[in-house]
Amino acid sequence: MAIEVFNRYEHKYMLDRETFEKMIKIMDEHMVMDSHNEEHTPYTIANIYFDTPDDYLIRTSLSKPEYKEKLRLRAYGVPNADTKVFLEIKKKFKGIVNKRRTKLKLSEAYGFVASGKAPEPKDYINTQVLHELEYFLKIYDLSPKLYLAYDRIAYFEKDNKDLRISFDMNIRSRRYDLALEDGDHGERLLPDDVYLMEIKTSLAKPLWLTHSLAELDIKRTRFSKYGTEFKNMINHIEADEIEYKYQEVV
């Protein structure tokens, strides 16, 4: 059964291709590959992020408050109306990430977010999380704002299921066709040779991992996929406005 409630730290690192390949070798020595991966073949995670008409959630997140939250719909690959997906609240308070999610059919998830009315409980639905989502939807006037997908290779430590390390690549996004079933396409967020590594744990990092990070001179960074896309969009809009004003003057 998929875990539906998480409380952990999530530390992020940007790797070039050479460092990524070295880290994969280290992972293979100490960790077990996620069941979604086969022979280092990435699997695809696709998300729809929801926000208010004035983008309150992402703007608040980018201001680096002690507490922030967001809502997203997540699928593995391209789903259809009957595919089970995850509707998820992600919160962060003083560095600790809390995720609460429940499985829903894609059609149920769309109806829930659009109406604010929770679907009837079923054996695959976490009813406690469902109530929390219902409250979240009452507070905010939400609609789909962004499709964001990436390919992932993920690992668990052999003797510590709390520790999870993932590598995301080919991060892509779009602000049109805002439905998961509309296909996997979008504009690239990072260059081809840049990989996002995330270390997720509620405990201290094991010694072998801290030594590896030090030996390869890998340092933590602040990076949000949604946040980066939003800032890029704002910068693009501002650049277009400047160009338009320049053309008017000329």
pLDDT of residue 242: 44
Question: How far is the C-alpha of 64 from the C-alpha of 46, rounded, in Å?
Answer: 25
Mention every residue, 6+ apart, whose C-beta is less than 8 A from residue 38. none
pLDDT of residue 238: 60
At residue 63, φ and ψ (nearest 5 deg) are: -80, 0
The candidate with the shortest Cα–Cα distance to 184, out of 145, 147, 229, 224, is 147
The CATH fold of domain 5-249: mRNA Triphosphatase Cet1; Chain A (3.20.100)
pLDDT of residue 170: 97
pLDDT of residue 2: 58
Cα dist. 229→2, 96, 138, 146, 172 in Å? 29, 23, 26, 9, 9
Distance of CA 75 to the CA centre of its chain: 11
Across the chain, the runs of DSSP E, i.e. the strands, are 5-16, 31-33, 43-51, 67-76, 84-93, 96-105, 143-157, 160-174, 187-188, 194-201
Write out the DSSP string of 106-167. Answer: HHHHHHHHHH-PPPPP-TTS-HHHHHHHHHHHHHS--EEEEEEEEEEEEEEETTEEEEEEEE
Give the chain's length: 250
Q: Are 147 and 173 in contact (CB under 8 A)?
A: yes
pLDDT per residue as tens, the chain (250 positions): 456 777 899 999 999 999 999 999 999 999 999 988 978 899 999 999 999 999 999 999 999 999 999 999 999 999 999 999 999 999 999 889 999 999 999 999 999 999 999 999 999 999 999 999 999 999 999 999 999 999 999 999 877 778 999 999 999 999 999 999 999 999 999 999 999 999 999 988 999 999 999 999 999 999 999 999 999 999 987 644 444 343 444 4
